Structure 1
Amino acid sequence: MSEIPPTDDSRLVSRENFQELLADAKLTIPESEHNDFRVLLSALDEAAKHLLQLDDEQPTVDLELYPRINIHIPDGKDTDKGGWATKVTVVCTKPKNSLLAGRTVALKDNIALAGVRCLNGTPPVGDAWIPTVDATVATRVLDAGATILGKAACENGCFGGVSDTACTGPVDNPWAPGYSTGGSSSGSGRLVASGQVDLALGCDQGGSIRLPAAHCGLVGHKPTWGLVPYTGILSLEATIDHVGPMTKTVADCALLMDVLAGYDGMDDRVPRMVKHGSLGFVKGIEATLGKKEKPLEGLKVGILKEGFESSRMDPGVEKLVRAAAAKFEAYGATVTTCSIPLHTESAPTWMCALPMAGMRQGILGDMTGRKQLFMTNRIQKTDGLLSQAAFDAYGPGGQNTFLRGRFLQKKYGPALHARALNLMRRLTDEYDKAFAEFDLLVMPTAPMLTQKTMTREQKVAEEAGPLRLLNRNLGVTHNTAPFDFSGHPALSLPIGFASPADDPGVKLPVGMQLVGRQYEDLVCLQAAAVWERENDWQTIYAGDL
């Protein structure tokens, strides 16, 4: 391959193609320079063709070490009321350790598992995508002796907070049939809470680990941004991508964090100095629980005033969270109210920041600018647009994100996204100022209780359009989304039940969110472990307080 191809006109980028290039870019170039640029572009074209002939650089999966058995799509009786998208059995024949020996795991269905379809909650346009790689987190749980039992259903494109948008069907709340598990890691929440698996992995860009955890009575931890590798997972937007554990207990959450966290050599989100297996979360909570009296002595807890100021704040949720937070004093902590006024301003900032980058990365699959593993067998040429079939396959959440991104891009350009990110940095600084005084911030995970799902038939019969369907999500991420942008660790802990005003016979789980300093995930886990030991959350009901 020569650097500059021959200047023979027949070998160059055609005059017509060059003119189209200029027209698309709305540019003019002097006629005398056209041939020079055609030669330069032809050299580039030769390089591109050569590159595409080379073997791709992808990790290989040793199927003798990690065999896949009985891959199948569950039938209507085998989905655990919507929890499963695809089932399989995967083990490591020579695990590196036994941390998860005998434990079963479900992966959210945006996490790559070679040879197993990955739907991302969206009906495939053509053949379903079948990854050829395993995500780092999948390999790590297998190396720790766990058995992966399949892919947990997730909401369409991971854009839903109510669990009835997945292409595989609604996911039913295990505590209250007909109610949502929350989203978008809906199947992960369902499968752990219903006992189908011991542990699950979820992904969180606006609350998608913590919200299903809160609504299903689980511990759900969104780690510090960049603590757990996102390698081999479909991204929504790299600066807010998180993957983490969803478990029944804090101890299991800490154990899974020990297995997952640390640099993997591929994901540029993870600092090199964070070595895999070096963080000692289990030892840390065991040390705290070993203190017989006042195990949280010296801990300063701030109850975030603005965390209770959502327009959709449920009185039962507020009552439970305030009562649960006050109990930290009995365990040795000091508990006072704190205020971060900018917290309530995060919603419009997040609303503008997410679509512009999320459209390009999450919907169009353009992850350029990152140092990471690119799953090239999924990347398609889009020219910045979706086909009609691909647009139709998304539910209202993905369609809205795409249209919002296009609208903001065309009307305001990159200056708006830059302003939004600067304001999010200001909010991050405000949280960090609070953490100069407090070790933890406490607030409701979700300000409201979970809501009823709608079947496809109900949506059609009631002519439920995008506005009605998307309005169900309003306010639910009031306390979760800000910490995706700020990157602080945030854990949802189950603290009791409350009943919706219009359905008093139903009891729904409520979660309390604990937020810590960046890379102090252990503090969240320690406080949660003490509260969990001292309280049986399943016996606590807001109506009794």
Structure 2
Amino acid sequence: MSIRRPTLEQLKMIADKYNLFLTEDELASYQHTIDNTLVSYDRLSHYSEPRLPTKVPRTPGYRPDKWENPLNAWYWKTSIKDENATGKLSGKTVVLKDNVFLAGVPMMNGSRVLEGFVPDEDATIVRRILEAGGEIVGKAVNEDLCFSGGSHTSHTGPVRNPLDPSKMTGGSSSGSAALVGAREVDLAIGGDQGGSIRVPAAWCGICGLKPTYGLIPYTGIFPIDRSLDHTGPMASSVEDTALLLEVLAGKDGLDPRQSFFPVEPKKYTDYLTGDIRQLKVAIVEEGFGWKNLSDPEVDQAVLQSAYSLQHLGAKVERISIPWHKEGLHLWNIIAIEGGLKQMINENGVGTGWKGHYSTALTEFFHCRKKLLAKELSNTVKFVILLGEYMQQHGGKYYSTAQNISRRLNAAYDYALEHFDVLIMPTVPMKPLKIPGPDTSIEESIKIAVEVLINTAPFDITGHPSMTVPCSPSYPIGMMITGRIGEEETVLKVAHAYEQLNR
């Protein structure tokens, strides 16, 4: 299909926007050159575009009624499996966070703007799940464009905590955590740019692992900022978390995130021995006692759980990492300005990287976002307003935050030269009540961000970080963080703790 050629008036508007100060004769010259160059654009219609493979036949499934969805955690129900596949996930049911492409099945990503989008290809991780014998039973509700640590921003309404329906699950992988916590599914896929696997897992009393940056391919998943994007497993046990990680991990040759750390997958279940003798565990002081945030019962539960590892032969010490206090400040800048650029202005895809581009998503999102922007959540509107305001500085603060973040990396890495894992509360407080319709904009945004205070720094640095339940009385998560590429150590400690407390 031929591209419509620009008029002189359209070119003048562009020139004025960029202060080019072109005369009418100059504009006419540029118009002629542009017309000739657009022949290259026209040529693209002569070729078929490569798609991610979709090998397993499926029907589109259905959107469940309220009686079938009491927690409001399901967005769509399906039954997709390879009848001939036998593997590590045989007999296991898996739900996908609704920012993951599943060909032929609607994807909303929690947002009115994406409602009606149906991917035409499978994400890499979908193919791996099906090849391993897993059954994909649906898509789980997540927060509006994934930008919330609460579970109150999805266009389909709040997701309710299976342990107390008056409380939030946490976000943004809210439905994934709720469905695993309610034992409606065996396994779930979550996404984590600021804590969105670990926060809801902690509040729903399950396990959730944010892997090393790039260990699991992000191909075919809606992003926020390429430097923050992680996807990973959620399950009711450490063993199942490790099992799903084995299936998901490894390069696909299409995700630029995987070129940053040279990480190779391992057989993680082999490390679940229960033997953590001689391992050194650091309790990070700065993860506790947050003013006006930390619940003393949460702090105490995590401290007791960390010290209990001494019974298994681990050496446990308290240490200080002052840079941890700066993590959320750096994350705010990177997530807001980066999210505006890639997620909003560049339609979730952007430019300047080698790999697979999801053009169907780009086209759909571009056409819909201006039409329906008024229906975005408060948190996404906040990202747009602040992110655009800061563009007057030309990206200076985003660049500075990324540069300074290397000091945050170095601080954690220095500690991990002396200790095998770092421990702190996943979320400083117990699950919060679902905000009511009269909740102010300020309070709604505050809830969405403040729960990320301990988790977000590790999305910047890319360290593997996992939450494991650590209290029989309340849904409290103990967060265990390890060296880049050493998920096996994190899982080993989490599994040993889990076995100790069964």
TM-score range, shorter-chain basis?
over 0.9
- Whether the 8 Å contact between 1:84 and 1:153 is mirrored in structure 2 is yes
1:500 match: none
- Whether the 8 Å contact between 1:214 and 1:492 is mirrored in structure 2 is yes
1:531 match: 497
2: distance between equivalents of 1:381 and 1:407?
26
- Whether the 8 Å contact between 1:203 and 1:242 is mirrored in structure 2 is yes
1: distance between equivalents of 2:54 and 2:359?
16
1: distance between equivalents of 2:408 and 2:122?
35
Q: Tell me whether 1:300 sits opposite 2:283 in the alignment.
A: no
1:58 match: 51
- Whether the 8 Å contact between 1:162 and 1:181 is mirrored in structure 2 is yes
SS of equivalent residue, structure 1 residue 303? strand
Map residues 230-269 of structure 1 onto 2, 5 A cutoff: 230-269=218-257
Structure 2 residue corresponding to 1:427, chosen from 402, 408, 412: 408
- Give, in angstroms, the shift of residue 350 of structure 1: 1.5
2: distance between equivalents of 1:485 and 1:430?
13
1:68 match: 58
Q: Tell me whether 1:374 sits opposite 2:357 in the alignment.
A: yes
Change (3 A) 1:361 1:272: closer
2: distance between equivalents of 1:94 and 1:274?
33
1:541 match: none
2:486 match: 520
SS of equivalent residue, structure 2 residue 448? coil
1: distance between equivalents of 2:154 and 2:368?
23
Amino acid at match of 1:92: D
- Give, in angstroms, the shift of residue 414 of structure 1: 1.1
- Whether the 8 Å contact between 1:84 and 1:187 is mirrored in structure 2 is yes
- Give, in angstroms, the shift of residue 416 of structure 1: 1.1
2: distance between equivalents of 1:319 and 1:350?
27
1:171 match: 159
Alpha-carbon deviations, 1:31-52, whole Å to 9, x = none? Answer: 7755553343223222122224
SS of equivalent residue, structure 2 residue 234? strand
SS of equivalent residue, structure 1 residue 107? strand
- Whether the 8 Å contact between 1:447 and 1:475 is mirrored in structure 2 is no
Alpha-carbon deviations, 1:100-156, whole Å to 9, x = none? Answer: 11010000010010011000011246x610000111111111110011100011111
Map residues 17-36 of structure 1 onto 2, 5 A cutoff: 17-29=10-22, 34=27, 36=29
2: distance between equivalents of 1:305 and 1:256?
32
1:5 match: none
SS of equivalent residue, structure 1 residue 19? helix
Structure 1 residue corresponding to 2:270, chosen from 269, 283, 289: 283
Give the RMSD, CA atoms, in angstroms.
2.3
- TM-score computed with the length of structure 1 as normaliser: 0.87
2: distance between equivalents of 1:493 and 1:237?
26
Amino acid at match of 1:378: L
SS of equivalent residue, structure 1 residue 221? strand
- TM-score computed with the length of structure 2 as normaliser: 0.94
2: distance between equivalents of 1:533 and 1:90?
33
SS of equivalent residue, structure 1 residue 149? strand
- Whether the 8 Å contact between 2:242 and 2:268 is mirrored in structure 1 is yes
- Give, in angstroms, the shift of residue 262 of structure 1: 0.1
1:154 match: 142
Structure number with bigger Rg: 1
- Give, in angstroms, the shift of residue 475 of structure 1: 2.6
5+ residue gaps, structure 1: 1-10, 290-294, 498-506, 537-545
Structure 1 residue corresponding to 2:390, chosen from 396, 400, 408: 408
SS of equivalent residue, structure 1 residue 239? coil
Q: Tell me whether 1:390 sits opposite 2:338 in the alignment.
A: no
Q: How many residues align?
A: 497
Percent of aligned positions with the same letter in both sequences?
Answer: 36
Change (3 A) 1:93 1:395: same
Alpha-carbon deviations, 1:251-274, whole Å to 9, x = none? Answer: 101100110000012111124996
1:16 match: 9
Change (3 A) 1:303 1:272: closer
- Whether the 8 Å contact between 1:263 and 1:272 is mirrored in structure 2 is no
SS of equivalent residue, structure 1 residue 492? strand
